[in-house]
Chains A and B, each alone.
Chain A
Amino acid sequence: MGGKRMIVRAAHNIISPLGMTTAENYAAVKEGRSMLKRYEGLWRLPEPFTASLMDREKVEEAFAPLANGAKYTFFEKMIILSASRAIAEAKIDAASDRVLFILSTTKGNVFLLDKNETGFPKERVLLGYAAKQMTDFFHNPNTAIVVSNACISGVCAQIQAMRELESGRFDYVVTVGADVQSAFIVSGFQSFKALSVDPCRPFDANRTGLNLGDAAATIIYTRKDKVTENDWVACRGAIRNDANHISGPSRTGEGSYRALKVALGEVSPDKIAFINTHGTATLYNDEMESFAIERAGLSKVPVNGLKGYYGHTMGAAGIMETILSMQAIDDHNILATRGYETMGVTHPLVLSNQNQPTEKRAFIKLLSGFGGCNAALLFAKGGEA
């Protein structure tokens, strides 16, 4: 890779029920905390569900200093808030035409489709318009790119950011991932019988499904000629399809395995501290991932999953889980898989429900989603793994 410019993280932020900064979130996860709670009758849903939801008052409070007279939905406040904190940390001019915004989301303002929601123009349900609220807020002249690839959107958005920077057209890409829960999303997953009524248990023998969660997360990327040993570098990513089924993952992990293979490249598995999996705690997802990891020759590499702390945060997941994995390696730590007790997949993985030490400096973020899509992205601290 001699001489090639590298794609480096410039700043980051996580807004979730566990905290309004990356530091708060990492500390909470390291201590094993979660805001997964059981809700009954919320949004008039007939069936109870367990989810990790934001305290909306807290978001209003945090957003108050940013108020500019315009009216924003809860979703828009989440993305603007997260982006603004990362932008402040990066000390960049967000109004520059050398800055591009990428938004990773699946359902954005979908709650506006409810006939009883009348507070906003209906066009705000369009993801491009929701994203425009954010770019207008920062007076950014470029059209935001919205990546909407189901549950893998957060990794796709980062791969997209890398490509935009490699082409040389932009100096910074503000990559924001977010989704907020609603009757629409929860009832849909309930109709799929995909939700667990209890806190989810990734890879566990007794797992019964996933939980959903609210979150927004931002990573700002830039290009650098020379990286320092503390720079986080996005090395290589790939998106691959199972070509099998639109909702069920491939039994043989076809797309996930292929994405992993490209992301790993020539790097020895010994260099990888851990694979941060999708780990939704559905029967089929976790089983599929275990097979894909084995097929990619990575079954000796520790794996973890963070859905037991946050539930599945959809468009936010890929970005939030990437940031937490970076913080973990900075802290020489492999985060525990909350909810996991007994190996429940047929291709055994190295998994723990306790934090584990590591001195390695690279990890892979792995995701899968509806539409048969899968994504993997290799990160290394200080450059190529």
Chain B
Amino acid sequence: MDELIYTLKQQIIEALNLEDMTPEDIDENASLFGEGLGLDSIDALELIVLMEKNYGIKLKDPNQGKEIFKSVAVMADYIQKNRTK
């Protein structure tokens, strides 16, 4: 799980162009949107692509993302349970 969390942090930094950030800078339990990393609606859509591209998970309804993208830890948990690659 720790390995997945670390990889996921790397993938998020790359996909969302979070320049100047390292995986160590991201608290896996902190909120991704609003306060936390301050991501916005385009970032949320890009996370949907990340899930499909890297883990074969298709989110049809962007509203699903609201729950899954709460934090890196929640995302990693969802990935572990639903990944197809």
Contact = CB atoms under 8 A, between A and B. Distances in A.
A and B, direct touch (CB closer than 8 Å): yes
A247 B49 contact: no
A119 B37 CA distance: 46
Interface range for A: under 10
A193 B40 contact: no
A248 B44 CA distance: 13
B41 A191 contact: no
Interface in A242-271: 245-248
A193 B42 CA distance: 11
Contacts of B49: 191
Contact of B62 (A193, A245, A246, A247): A193
Contact of B45 (A192, A245, A246): A192
Contacts of B41: 245, 247-248
A247 B49 CA distance: 17
Nearest to B46: A191
Contacts of B42: 246-247
A246 B40 CA distance: 11
Interface in B26-85: 40-42, 45, 48-49, 62
A197 to B, nearest CB: 10
Nearest to A247: B42
A234 B42 CA distance: 37
A244 to B, nearest CB: 11
Nearest to B60: A193
A151 B7 CA distance: 38
A280 to B, nearest CB: 16
B48 to A, nearest CB: 8
A193 to B, nearest CB: 5
A179 to B, nearest CB: 22
A63 B49 CA distance: 41
A248 B45 CA distance: 12
Nearest to A248: B41
Contacts of A191: 45, 49
Interface string A182-216: 00000000011100000000000000000000000
A192 B62 CA distance: 9
Interface in A225-250: 245-248
B57 to A, nearest CB: 15
A210 to B, nearest CB: 15
Contacts of B45: 191-193
A246 B42 CA distance: 9
Interface in A142-198: 191-193
A193 B64 CA distance: 12
Q: Lowest 6 CB-CB distances: which A-B pairs, in order?
A: A193-B62, A248-B41, A247-B42, A192-B45, A191-B45, A193-B45
12 contacts: A191-B45, A191-B49, A192-B45, A193-B45, A193-B48, A193-B62, A245-B40, A245-B41, A246-B42, A247-B41, A247-B42, A248-B41
